[in-house]
């Protein structure tokens, strides 16, 4: 079962925060502090991250991770929740909302994607992720440092960058490799053709300096008009850390008693 971090009163409306690759539930600590006054906040360590390690192979896939997440929510007596996901966690959140719509009250995606559209692109990404998995296991500190040297992370302050690097280096390299192989963008089922089936209020947030994810957010909104795209000018990939007000404004709508419905 997934390890789940908690904050807030047990009887408050539940909100689930899903972290990105190499993160863990504790990556949402600042956000849980903001939300705990009004919500019960659940922050799982996703398979291969934090304390959710040594799981069966199926758990390191999108369907298996969704099943493990639902098992954890069942154990917490959470029947339905607002779900917020960043990057890899956003891909899982979208899959969950499509496969198990009765369990999701609203969906908020930060720098997340429905996957790659073509088999060729997915095959190439799997090759890239296999190489990344090897690099991770050979030198996790070097891998994390190179990861945060990417231009989309330039907006992070030195303090935020150092905190994120330290958190990610504390994961087990072999477990991160399992996550990459099973839950990487090339391994996940593409969800573009299923966006019309979304039955919950959905907001997609991207940083203005992260052109790839701006285009994805806008394409999602074009494919399903009820999806709202939000672009935060000046932010990169980690919008919720770089410009917290942008996500705060989106969540004010999504977590309201009656969220906007498709």
Handedness of CA 149, 155, 161, 167 (dihedral sign): negative
- Is 35 part of any domain? yes
Examine residue 46 and state whether it is found in any structural domain, yes or no: yes
Residue 261: count other Cβ atoms within 10 Å of its Cβ.
10
CA dist., res. 235 & res. 157, Å (int): 12
Give the pLDDT mean for 11-22: 96
Is the Cα torsion angle 32, 96, 130, 173 positive or negative in sign? positive
Between helix 119-138 and helix 140-147 the angle, nearest 10°, is 130
The answer to the question of residue 52 being in a domain is yes
Quick check: is 25 in a domain? yes
Q: How far apart are CA 44 and CA 15, in angstroms?
A: 11
70 occurs within a structural domain: yes
Q: What is the tens place of the pLDDT at every residue in 199-217?
A: 899 999 999 999 999 999 9
What does the pLDDT look like over 98-134, one tens digit per residue? Answer: 999 999 999 999 999 999 999 999 999 999 999 999 9
158 lies in some domain: no
pLDDT digits (tens, 9 = 90+) for 24-47: 999 999 999 999 999 999 999 999
Does residue 261 surpass a pLDDT of 70? no
- Alpha carbons 81 and 103: distance in angstroms, whole number: 6
| pLDDT at residue 260 is higher than 80 | no
- Residue 216 placed within a domain: yes
Phi, psi of 8 (to 5 degrees): 95, 170
Give the count of domains, the chain.
1
Provide the CATH number for the domain around residue 211.
Answer: 3.40.50.1820
Percentage of the chain surpassing pLDDT 70?
98
Instruction: Confirm whether 148 is domain-assigned.
Output: no
Instruction: Give the pair of three-digit tokens for residue 117.
Output: 């559209």
Which residue segment(s) compose the domain that 87 sits in? 4-115+188-254
Q: Work out whether the CA dihedral 35, 36, 39, 44 comes out positive or negative.
A: positive
Model-level pTM? Answer: 0.95
């Amino acid at each position: 079962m997934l390890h789940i971090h908690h904050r807030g009163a047990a009887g408050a409306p539940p909100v689930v925060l899903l972290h990105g690759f190499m993160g863990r539930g504790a990556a949402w600590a600042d956000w849980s502090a903001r939300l705990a006054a009004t919500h019960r906040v659940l922050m799982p360590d996703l398979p291969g991250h934090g304390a959710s390690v040594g799981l069966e192979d199926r758990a390191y896939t999108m369907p298996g991770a969704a099943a493990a997440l639902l098992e954890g929510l069942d154990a917490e007596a959470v029947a339905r929740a607002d779900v917020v996901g960043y990057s890899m966690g956003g891909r899982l959140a979208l899959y969950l909302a499509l496969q198990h719509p009765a369990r999701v009250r609203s969906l908020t995606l930060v720098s997340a994607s429905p996957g790659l559209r073509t088999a060729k692109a997915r095959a190439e990404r799997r090759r890239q992720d296999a190489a990344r998995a090897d690099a991770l296991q050979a030198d996790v500190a070097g891998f994390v440092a190179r990861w945060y040297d990417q231009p989309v992370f330039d907006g992070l302050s030195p303090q935020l960058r150092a905190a994120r690097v330290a958190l990610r280096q504390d994961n087990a390299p072999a477990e991160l490799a399992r996550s990459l192989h099973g839950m990487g963008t090339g391994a996940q089922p593409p969800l573009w053709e299923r966006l019309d089936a979304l039955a919950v209020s959905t907001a997609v947030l991207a940083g203005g300096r992260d052109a790839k994810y701006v285009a994805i957010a806008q394409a999602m909104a074009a494919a399903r008009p009820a999806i709202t795209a939000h672009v935060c000018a000046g932010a990169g990939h980690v919008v919720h850390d770089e410009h917290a007000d942008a996500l705060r404004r989106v969540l004010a709508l999504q977590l309201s008693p009656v969220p906007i419905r498709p």
